[in-house]
Amino acid sequence: MTSQSIADAVVPALGETPTFKIGDVVRTGTRFPVGHYRLPMYLRGKSAVIERVIATMGVDNEEEGFGRNAGSKGHYYRIAIPLKQIWTDYRGPASDSLRVEVFENWLERV
Amino acid sequence: MGTVGDDNDHDGHDHDHGHGDAGHGHPHEEIFIADAPGYYDLMETAVRELLIERRLFGADEIRRQIEVLDSRTPALGAKVVARAWVDEGFRRRLLEDGRKGCEELGITFYDDTQLIVLENTPKVHNLIVCTLCSCYPRPVLGLPPDWYKLKPYRARAVYEPRAVLEEFGTRIPDDVEIIVSDSTAMVRYLVLPMRPPGTETMSEEDLGALVTRDAMIGVIPVEYPKEAA
């Protein structure tokens, strides 16, 4: 058996493989949880492009903040957003941009 | 922990402090703490004492962790950068996986964070910030500078990075893309600055001596020869 055919025989559990891939267009959530959050306010409801899937799955920091992660892990993504899209009055060149790591439950497919 | 300068015994000093004379450069009052401890000082002491009392922690473990933190300084990051400049294979591995690259050199990630190394090029300038708090690549750089933790830098780095950079004396031409990385959760960043021209024959060790903390945060370039202080 080749390693590819072995992999083809395995069914990964839900959430085990990343939901998004590099280049996918996503939107960050627009919600305002009370307490511990890790998506800064200025980045809510923004359109973004997936630049990288963070290799190691991690716990949801927002749940971990309350001791509720129960060992469940998910994917973090490095997303790219032009600064002009974040700040309509941004004065620098259109190529200037921002990167941020976001846990999967903050991202929606566009 | 949390308070400094409460040791007024200067006998143990290993250098001539030269109070009030020209040897020290600036005369100053003896350093001591006059204010009562603040709310968070008291909370820290209370939590620490409770943890020790309940045997969840030992005083030795706290001291050990302070030693771990003290052993992490920008000199470590500088060694990583210098190695990347002289060893192409290492540079590629470091950019692929920053943490594994650092671990190759024996730098451990005691806080279990991941590390992304961001390479500056003639076309891209990277800047790092943590708008939510003060996330910082402590395993490789140690404690962040105060300005990194204060709100003006945290707010402005993502809103007007070019103006912030100019205040550090760094002017980035408009045809160079600025990428601001906002650290939020489990990933930390380290900027790999450009190797300055004129350093082609320098040894790895001498190169490391050129690399400063601020260059690895991305607010200044690495310069050679170093500007006079």
pLDDT in tens, A33-56: 888 788 999 999 999 999 999 988
| CA–CA gap between residue B93 and residue B118 (Å, rounded) | 12
Number of residues that make up chain A: 110
pTM of structure: 0.85
A57, A74 contact by CB (below 8 A): yes
What pLDDT score does B71 carry? 96
Please report residues of A whose CB lies closer than 8 A to that of B182.
40, 43, 98-100
Q: What is the mean pLDDT of residues A81-104?
A: 96
Q: What is the pLDDT at residue B35?
A: 81
Instruction: Output the six-digit token pair for B34.
Output: 């006059």
> B135 an active-site residue?
yes
Give yes or no for a contact between B190 and B115, defined as CB atoms under 8 angstroms apart: yes
Comparing CB atoms, the residue among A56, A92, A100 nearest residue B182 is: A100
Pairing of strands B114-119, A107-109: unpaired
The reply to whether B102 belongs to the active site is no
Q: How far is the C-alpha of B175 from the C-alpha of B29, rounded, in Å?
A: 50
Say whether B134 is catalytic.
yes
Is 90 exceeded by the pLDDT of residue A62? no
> A92 CA to chain B: closest CA distance, Å?
7
Q: Collect all residues of chain A within an 8 Å Cβ-Cβ radius of residue B159.
A: 87, 90
pLDDT at A71: 67
Count chain A–chain B contacts defined by CB atoms under 8 A: 78
Does residue A93 register a pLDDT over 80? yes
Which residues of A sit within 8 Å Cβ distance of B? 38-40, 42-43, 52, 54-56, 58, 61, 76, 78, 83, 86-87, 90-93, 95-103
Task: Report the residue of chain A nearest B115, measured CA to CA.
Answer: A54
Residues of chain B positioned with their CB less than 8 A from the CB of A52: 116
Which pair of structure tokens corresponds to residue B146? 């105060």
Q: Kindly name the residue from B102, B135, B181, B183 that is annotated as catalytic.
A: B135
> Which of B112, B166, B187 to mutate against chain A (most A CBs within 10 Å)?
B187
pLDDT (0 to 100) of residue B227:
59
Instruction: Report pLDDT for B5.
Output: 41
Burial of B107 (0-12, 13-18, 19+ CB in 10 A): buried
Of residues A63 and B152, more confidently modeled: B152
Helix/strand/coil (H, E, C) string of B60-122? HHHHHHHHHHHCCCHHHHHHHHHHHHHCHHHHHHHHHCHHHHHHHCCCCCCCCCEEEEEECCC
CA of B177 vs chain A CAs: smallest distance (Å): 5
What is the pLDDT at residue B24?
64
Return the pLDDT at B23.
Answer: 54
Tell me if residue B71 is catalytic: no
pLDDT at B56: 92
- Show residues of chain A in contact with B162, CB under 8 Å: 91-92, 96
B180–A92 C-beta distance less than 8 A: no
Choose the catalytic residue: B102, B130, B181, B183.
Answer: B130
pLDDT at A67: 82
Mean pLDDT by 10 residues, chain B (229 residues): 42 46 67 85 94 91 93 97 98 97 97 95 98 95 96 97 98 98 92 97 97 98 77
Q: What are A82's strand-pairing partners? A: A97
pLDDT at residue B49 in the model: 93
Predicted confidence band of residue A64 (pLDDT cuts 50, 70, 90): confident
